[in-house]
């Protein structure tokens, strides 16, 4: 019985080696660090949090600023999609920008629909949105250089 197990283990070695070679030849597991993209995210975070604070006011005077923010969210998402092995970053951008979600995209949509938001909601949302940006920024900072 031991002899059979040993032969099965030996027979499995080439399969494991072939699988390892295929995995390592498929390229990196995560995209490379991009300092320009990192700067974009840091600046976008600052602008987004400033915009969120303005939701105590009516939406209409801030419409253009909100539309520009939505375009920048899309720009960030498209940048993430263009890189190979960037699945985590892409997913985070999708969640951050989703207009039916609970982060920046959803916040902007809620502001647009309701016209003006309450200070408590704004404060809580700002904390969550900041954390989402921090997560994206940490992910980018942790990528291989």
Range 73-81, long-range pairs (CB < 8 A, 24+ positions): 73/44, 73/97, 73/104, 73/105, 75/40, 76/37, 76/40, 76/41, 76/44, 79/37, 79/40, 80/37
The string of pLDDT tens digits covering residues 7-24 is 434 444 444 444 444 444
Residue 59: count of CB within 10 angstroms of its CB: 18
The string of pLDDT tens digits covering residues 64-104 is 999 999 999 999 999 999 998 899 999 999 999 999 999 99
- Please tell me the pTM assigned to this model: 0.79
C-alpha–C-alpha distance, residues 88 and 73, integer Å: 16
Structure-token pair, residue 131: 């954390």
């Amino acid at each position: 019985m031991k002899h059979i197990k040993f032969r099965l283990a030996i027979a499995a070695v080439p399969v494991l080696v072939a699988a390892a070679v295929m995995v390592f030849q498929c390229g990196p597991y995560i995209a490379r660090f991009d300092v320009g993209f990192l700067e974009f995210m840091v600046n976008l975070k600052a602008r987004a949090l400033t915009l969120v604070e303005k939701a105590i006011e009516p939406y209409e005077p801030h419409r253009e600023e909100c539309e520009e923010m939505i375009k920048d969210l899309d720009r960030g998402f498209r940048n993430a999609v263009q890189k190979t092995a960037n699945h985590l970053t892409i997913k985070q951008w999708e969640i951050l920008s989703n207009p039916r979600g609970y982060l920046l995209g959803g916040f902007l949509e809620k502001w647009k629909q309701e016209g003006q938001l309450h200070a408590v909601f704004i404060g809580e949302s700002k904390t969550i949105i900041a954390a989402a940006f921090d997560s994206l920024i940490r992910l980018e900072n942790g990528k291989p250089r």
